[in-house]
């Protein structure tokens, strides 16, 4: 599918047209992502391939959570060699490691969350200690610790990727508490969706080492 010309929709018509689009074309969501941008004058622009910054990606018609153009398309190969080594050591696909890093920290090795998660793979200090991370802000140590945790979760949840990702975000005890289902937390549900989106992205761009 080629790029659609950006479509400008007056704010007064947005709601009706958006729901008409959803009801009339349910199959489109399975084949393409859609993006929107609000101009300074209030005009809302939709497109399937954004060509400038300022767009946000719509996950689905019921979600209010978006990924920005910059978050979706910016990536780095800075840590590819470390990711490759961790992948071989712990048996976790490189694309999954990159998708988690992208979602967690956007490749910022000094990132710190409001909950105290740190580094590229956003490890909380207790998890870092549990998986042998000697320096939570050291990229190699952090990636190795996060990948080792993913390996543990893969074994714990018998390879169920959605549960692995939910547990990486909310903790394995939360997943077990809800009978091995994704916990009913909006943050965790959106987290799983984001990682899977980036996993598709990186699966199409394997490491070239």
Q: How confident is the model at residue 77 (pLDDT cuts 50, 70, 90)?
A: confident
Using a 10 angstrom Cβ sphere, with 0-12 exposed, 13-18 middle and 19 or more buried, the burial of residue 185 is middle
Which is catalytic among the residues 39, 71, 104, 187?
104
Residue 39 region by backbone torsions, left for phi larger than 0, else alpha for psi between -120 and 50, else beta: beta
Q: Which two three-digit tokens encode residue 103?
A: 């979602």
| Residue of 145 and 12 predicted with greater confidence | 145
Q: How confident is the model at residue 140 (pLDDT cuts 50, 70, 90)?
A: very high
- Specify the pTM: 0.67
Please confirm, yes or no, whether 70 is among the known catalytic residues.
Answer: no
């Amino acid at each position: 599918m080629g790029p659609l010309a950006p479509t400008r929709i007056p704010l007064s018509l947005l709601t009706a047209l958006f729901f008409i689009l959803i009801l009339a074309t349910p199959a489109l969501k399975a084949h393409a992502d859609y993006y929107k941008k609000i101009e300074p004058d209030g005009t809302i622009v939709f497109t399937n391939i954004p060509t400038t910054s300022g767009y946000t990606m719509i996950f689905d018609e019921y979600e209010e959570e978006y990924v920005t153009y910059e978050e979706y398309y910016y990536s780095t190969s800075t840590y590819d060699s470390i990711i490759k080594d961790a992948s071989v050591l712990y048996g976790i696909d490189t694309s999954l490691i990159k998708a988690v890093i992208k979602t967690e920290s956007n490749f910022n090795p000094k990132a710190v969350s409001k909950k105290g998660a740190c580094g590229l793979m956003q490890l909380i200090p207790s998890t870092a200690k549990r998986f042998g991370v000697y320096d939570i802000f050291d990229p190699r140590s952090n990636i190795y610790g996060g990948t080792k945790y993913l390996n543990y979760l893969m074994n714990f949840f018998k390879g169920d990727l959605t549960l692995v990702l939910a547990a990486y975000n909310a903790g394995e005890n939360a997943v077990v508490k809800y009978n091995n289902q994704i916990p009913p937390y909006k943050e965790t549900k959106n987290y799983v969706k984001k990682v899977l989106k980036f996993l598709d992205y990186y699966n199409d761009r394997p490491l070239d080492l």
